[in-house]
Amino acid sequence: MTITFSETQKNRLTDLGWKGASANEEFATAEQRERAYKKTEKAAIAQNREQLLQLINETHQPRLCGLQQDLALCLHEEGFTQVTTPAIISKVFLERMSLDGSHPLTRQVFWLDSKTCLRPMLAPNLYAVSRQIMNFAKMPLRIFEIGSCFRKESEGKLHLKEFTMLNLVEWGTPMEERTERLKELADTVLRAVPIRDYSFREEFSQVYGDALDVVSRKGIELASTSTGPHPLDAAWKISCSWVGIGFGLERLLVCREEDEGIHRYSKSISFLDGARLNIK
Ligand code: ATP
Ligand code: MG
């Protein structure tokens, strides 16, 4: 009978991002397996240490932070103005997004008390801030935010409880140009990442209705888009036509790096810039 690495050993190697074939190796005895595991773990640890030292001594910035900077710069050049708004929002703002109890996303909200929660999306604050800016600025008005959003998720390879959203919105896009413009804006952002191999997929959003999603070559959702005029607009006293896109930055990273496991690139105390931190 042959034996393979134990589940604990396999998990540790996965955590260390080890992609070598030896993870599925077969052994004749337990002693052989232990010897092979020690050797493999040592190699995996060395690889992580190398990555971390490169960060500490050379690049100094995790890819998540670098990506935020690059995308912000690219959008500034396209005439988008950046805003930064609170992660704590009111129940009223959620209700205006139709998240009122019957909506599935409502169950994913982290409540702080009966009236406030951690935002599960950037859209409500963008609506609120944009409404004010429209009082003095001309259309088209281009606004974006990059910031943390929070959702109760059973964390898998694609979902985090805290993730970084880039949400852009262009108010005043002519009606007949909306689809074209959405594709153009998605392309601008993805070029800046860069991710070249992606496509658009028609999707139904519980908040926005029929919409286009941006998906990676492997079929992973990278962004969802939306357009207006939309029934939700009335609650914010907005009546112009518009286009908007929400990207998940950690998803963009995991796709660009052709890695598995979104948590490696997330805000974390266990991982730093794709590398495992406990490598003593
Ligand atoms: P999914 O169907 O994959 O759970 P979603 O449609 O609920 O995602 P949206 O509300 O459309 O997500 O959010 C816009 C983008 O934010 C998504 O396309 C994705 O890139 C990212 N995103 C959403 N939820 C998460 C999460 N829990 N962790 C990481 N990224 C996320
Ligand atoms: Mg979506």
Pocket test for ligand 1, best of 158, 220, 227, 253 (most atoms within 8 A of CB): 158
Ligand nearest to the CA of 250: 1
| pLDDT tens by residue, 125-182 | 999 999 999 999 999 999 999 999 999 998 788 999 999 999 999 999 999 999 999 9
Pair 78, 199 in one domain: yes
- Give residue 276 CA to ligand 2 midpoint distance, Å: 29
Q: What percent of the chain has pLDDT over 70?
A: 99
Pair 207, 253 in one domain: yes
Of the residues 40, 60, 80, the one at which a domain ends: 60
Longest alpha-carbon distance in the chain: 77
Pair 237, 108 in one domain: yes
Nearest CA residue ID for atom 23, ligand 1:
248
- Give residue 129 CA to ligand 1 midpoint distance, Å: 22
Q: Quick one: average pLDDT of 98-118?
A: 90
Pair 35, 161 in one domain: no
Is residue 119 within 6 Å of ligand 1 at its C-beta?
A: no
Candidates 246, 242, 238; CA nearest to 133 is 238
Of the residues 45, 60, 75, the one at which a domain ends: 60
The answer to whether the Cα torsion of 212, 76, 196, 121 is positive or negative is: negative
Domain of 241, CATH number, reads 3.30.930.10
- Give residue 160 CA to ligand 2 midpoint distance, Å: 14
Mean pLDDT of the chain: 94
> Domain for residue 278, yes or no?
no
Ligand nearest to the CA of 159: 1
Ligand nearest to the CA of 214: 1
Of the residues 20, 37, 60, the one at which a domain ends: 60
Distance CA 256, CA 275 (A): 16
> Domain for residue 277, yes or no?
no
> Domain for residue 2, yes or no?
no
Q: What are phi and psi of 137, to 5 degrees?
A: -110, 155
- Whether 260 has a pLDDT exceeding 90, the answer reads no
| pLDDT tens by residue, 21-73 | 666 789 999 999 999 999 999 999 999 999 999 999 999 999 999 999 999 99
| Whole-number pLDDT of residue 275 | 95
The reported pTM is: 0.94
Counting from 1 in the atom list of ligand 1, the atom nearest the Cα of 155 is 27
| pLDDT tens by residue, 86-97 | 999 999 999 999
- Whether 203 has a pLDDT exceeding 90, the answer reads no
Pair 71, 53 in one domain: no
Pair 43, 152 in one domain: no
Counting from 1 in the atom list of ligand 1, the atom nearest the Cα of 105 is 7
CA atoms lying within 13 Å on the CB side of residue 38: 5
Pair 155, 218 in one domain: yes
Pair 106, 148 in one domain: yes
Token duo for residue 253 = 């990273």
Yes or no: say if 104 and 97 are a contact pair by the CB < 8 Å rule: no
> Domain for residue 1, yes or no?
no
> Domain for residue 280, yes or no?
no
Pocket test for ligand 1, best of 64, 121, 157, 165 (most atoms within 8 A of CB): 165
Pair 94, 198 in one domain: yes
> Domain for residue 94, yes or no?
yes
Pair 116, 178 in one domain: yes
Nearest CA residue ID for atom 18, ligand 1:
223
Q: Quick one: average pLDDT of 227-234?
A: 94
- Structural domain harbouring 45: 7-60
Distance CA 180, CA 185 (A): 9
Pair 125, 196 in one domain: yes
Pocket test for ligand 1, best of 157, 163, 232 (most atoms within 8 A of CB): 163
Ligand nearest to the CA of 120: 1
Q: What percent of the chain has pLDDT over 90?
A: 84
Domain of 54, CATH number, reads 1.10.287.540
Give the count of domains, the chain: 2
Pair 207, 232 in one domain: yes
Is residue 165 within 6 Å of ligand 1 at its C-beta?
A: yes
